Amino acid sequence: MRKLLIATCGLLMAAACSPASQEEKDIETLKQEIQEELSTAEGDFAVAFRLLDGSGEEILINEMESFHAASTMKTPVMIEVYKQAAAGKFNVSDSIQVHNEFKSIVDGSLYSMQLGVDSEEELYDRIGKKATIYDITYAMIIKSSNLATNILIDLIGAESTTQTMRDLGAADIMVRRGVEDQKAFDQGLNNTTTAYDLMVIMEAIANGDAVNEEADAEMFDILADQYYRDLIPAYLPENVVVAHKTGFITGVQHDSGIIRLPDGRQYVLVLLSKNLANRDQGKEAIARVSKLIYDYVIK
């Protein structure tokens, strides 16, 4: 009887000290594979991945580290546009003037955007004319128009945008200014984000909690029309919908979005980088990490 008791206790202790469940081992293995893939490119990376199935399953790597937001800050601007529209301040179908004169947050001095530097040029043909708020927002997201971004920030306010991010639970993302404010840049007054915060706001859009279900569905559709598809979507099947916003400047490649599978399941993925020694290697590592995560989700 004593031997049986000892054996039973031994089994209980072994169970208590045994490795985690197979599911937990799988997610840990995925995390290790992600870290190995990112190590193939010289630079600093952050990852935030969360399944939107109620399981709470996620992978977080350097998720609270601050990064220059680059053009990922345009998603918060879009959210604020739709929030103010929902509050009745304007309608996204309203027309406003397209202008190219903006004030630096440092001293109020004027600066303009440069044609040929911006990633979207069609809006420059409409300077002095009118365009709908929707069309300007669309240009800001799908081709990352800097001119569109600054026009919208003049309309809605950078401080209001940041406060809305706080209301959504994004505690660290900062939208301080428009794009190409060189005086602000020289003083280190940049738009910043964390992978975690971008995950929070993308999840809010996916769940219809950012503004309301109708507005969030429209924002999802805009993000899904993204022109730049060489990061998160690069190695994913064509029938997978990726609603996302990229961002890139020297040494920086970002992507952040909602991935919707053909069966309706969704997950959020944010991949940030900085100090990249080789742009192409960084992009390849990010694209391969996205594929690793997709393969895990569909297993």
pLDDT in tens, 145-184: 999 999 999 999 999 999 999 999 999 999 999 999 999 9
Indicate the SS3 state at residue 196: helix
- Quick one: which H or E segment has residue 282? helix 279-298
- pTM (2 d.p.): 0.91
Residue 228 pLDDT exceeds 50: yes
Using CA atoms, how far apart are residues 49 and 268, in angstroms rounded to an integer? Answer: 6
User: Helix count (H) and strand count (E) of the chain?
Assistant: 10, 11
In angstroms, what CA-CA distances link 95 with 92, 137, 164? 8, 12, 24
Mean pLDDT in residue range 213-219: 98
- Quick one: which H or E segment has residue 260? strand 252-260
Using CA atoms, how far apart are residues 70 and 192, in angstroms rounded to an integer? Answer: 8
Least confident of 78-92, 177-191, 270-284: 177-191
pLDDT band, residue 9 (cuts 50/70/90): very low
Using CA atoms, how far apart are residues 203 and 209, in angstroms rounded to an integer? Answer: 8
Six-digit token string for 6:
């000892």
Mean pLDDT in residue range 130-147: 97
- Quick one: which H or E segment has residue 23? helix 22-38
CA 261 to the chain's CA centroid:
18
For residue 111, what are the contacts with CB-CB under 8 A and spacing of at least 6? 101, 102, 103, 104, 180, 181, 182, 183
Residue 11 pLDDT exceeds 50: no
pLDDT band, residue 18 (cuts 50/70/90): very low
The residue type found at 59 is I
> Which of 138, 110, 113 lies closest to 124, judged by CA?
113
Q: How many residues are there in the chain? A: 299
Structural domains of the chain, ranges and CATH numbers in brackets: 21-64+194-299 (3.40.710.10), 66-192 (3.40.710.10)
Mean pLDDT in residue range 29-38: 97
